Amino acid sequence: MSGLEVDSPSRSRLTETGWNPPMRGEIEAMKALYEKELFGSVVPFWEKHSIDHKVGGYFNSLDRDGAVFDGEKHMWMQWRSVYMFSELAHSPYGEKKWVKFARHGADFLMQHGRDEKGNYFFALNAAGEPSVSACNIYSDAFAALGSAALFRASGIRKYRDEAARAYQNYLWRMQDPKGRWDKSMPGRQKRHTLGYFMILANLGHVMNECLATSEYDADLDRSARTVIDHFWNEEEKTLFENINADGSFDLESAEGRRLNPGHGLESMWFLMQVAEKKSDSQMLRRLSEMTLRILETGWDETCGGMFYFRDARGRPSEDLTWDMKLWWVHCEALVASLYAFQVSRDPRFWKWFKKIHDWSFAHFPDPEHGEWFAYLNRRGEATHLLKGGKWKCFFHLPRALLQCLELFKRIPA
C-alpha cells in the first residue's frame, strides 16, 4: 500500500524550520540496522531458546542468555509467538521454517489450551495442563490473531476456522470481560477500558487482511470510532486509559486520570492502518495530531525515554512502575512516529522517530546475548535481565522492527 500524504509540508516550510527530509542513504542505513537487529539478534534468540520440542508450544520465561527459568506457558505469549512466526513467514523475508514453528505452537494450543466452553486458559503448566483459568479475554484475542496469520502463511483451513471462532468468542466476552472472575462490588465505578477496543480494531484489520475478507469491517470501524470519539478527550488533548460506562471522563480518581502512552501510541498506528486502508485523509490527519500529543506527554524530558504511566493532572500515580522505561512502549512509539511521518511527511514525526530510536537503541539491546532487556528504571538502567516472561515474548519487538522495515520502503527520499 502506498503512503497517503496528509498536509504534506511545503518546501518553503521545510526550509523555514531548518529541517531536511531524510536522504535515501539515511533510510537505507536505518533499514539495514533494523534488518540486522531483527534477523541477526532477535529472531535467532527465540528460534534457539523458545521452542519446546519435547512437550509442544513455547518456553516464554527466558533468562538473559536464553535459559528457561520457568516452564509455565502463558497463553498471550504463546499465541503471540504463533502470530509472529506466521508474519515472518508471510513477509518478504519469509522462510518455510517459520510456518513450521508457528504450527508447532498452534497445534499444541488448540489441543491443550481451551476449557470446556472453548475459552482459552490464561496459562498452562510445563506439561501442557491448565494452570490458570480462562479469566482473561485477551487469550481469545491473541488466539484469533495468531490463527488468522497462520492461515495466511500456511493456507490450512483449520486455522481460518479457529481464527473465526476465537474472534467471535472475544467479541462475545467483551460484554462482560471478567465474567465470574470480576472482584468488583456494586460500589465500584463501572468503566470501559481502552485496551479492549484498540485490540478489536487491530484484530478486525488482521482478520480482514489474513482471511481476505471484509467481514470484519463493521466491528473494526466501531472500535476505531470508539477510541477516537470516546477515549480521546478533545478538551484535555489526551487519550485516556479508562472512561466511565456512560462515556464521561473521571478526573477525580487515579484510575480515571490514568494515561498509558504505550497503549495510546499502539492505538494510533493500529488506527492509521484502518484509515490508510480506507483512504480517509481526514481521519489520518486527526490521528497524526493525536499521535503528536501522546508523544509529547509521554516523553521524559529529564532522563529521556517514554514513561510507562502518567497522570492527566500530574497527581501521584498508584502504579509503582509509572516512571519505568519498558521495551514495548518504545517499540510502539517507534512504529507510531514512523507511521505518522509516512502518512503526513510532517518533519516533527521524523524527529520524534529519531529521538525514540536513539534512546531505545542506546539502552535496550543486549550486545552480549542478543535481544532486548525489557525493564529499565527511569535512568535507563536494566532492573531485570530476563528476555522473556509472563508479559514479554516474541512479539512487540520483532513486530515493531518488521513494521518499521515496511514503513522505510514506503518513505520516499
User: What ranges do the domains of the chain cover?
Assistant: 11-180+203-409
Could you tell me the three cell numbers for 233? Answer: 478527550
Could you tell me the three cell numbers for 160? Answer: 481460518
Cα–Cα dist 69/224, whole Å? 39
Size of the chain in residues: 413
pLDDT of the residue at 4: 52
18, amino acid identity: G
Contact 372, 346 (CB under 8 A): no
- CA 354 distance to own-chain centroid: 20
* CA 238 to each of CA 5, 104, 108, 292, 296: distance values in angstroms, whole numbers, following the listed order: 24, 42, 42, 11, 11
Contact 274, 220 (CB under 8 A): yes
Could you tell me the three cell numbers for 44? Answer: 535467532
* CA 216 to each of CA 39, 204, 228, 230: distance values in angstroms, whole numbers, following the listed order: 33, 5, 19, 21
pLDDT along the chain (413 residues), means of 10: 48 48 87 98 98 98 98 98 98 97 98 96 98 97 98 98 98 91 90 97 98 97 97 97 97 97 98 96 97 98 98 94 98 98 95 98 98 98 97 98 97 78
Residue 13 makes CB contacts below 8 A (sequence gap 6+) with none
Strand partners, 233: 238
What 3-state DSSP class applies to 334?
A: helix
What 3-state DSSP class applies to 240?
A: coil
Q: What is the CATH number of domain 11-180+203-409?
A: 1.50.10.10
Residue 212 makes CB contacts below 8 A (sequence gap 6+) with none
Taking the C-alpha atoms of 370, 376, 381 and 383 in order, what is their torsion angle to the nearest 10 degrees? -90
Radius of gyration of the chain (CA): 21
pLDDT of the residue at 371: 98
pLDDT of the residue at 389: 97
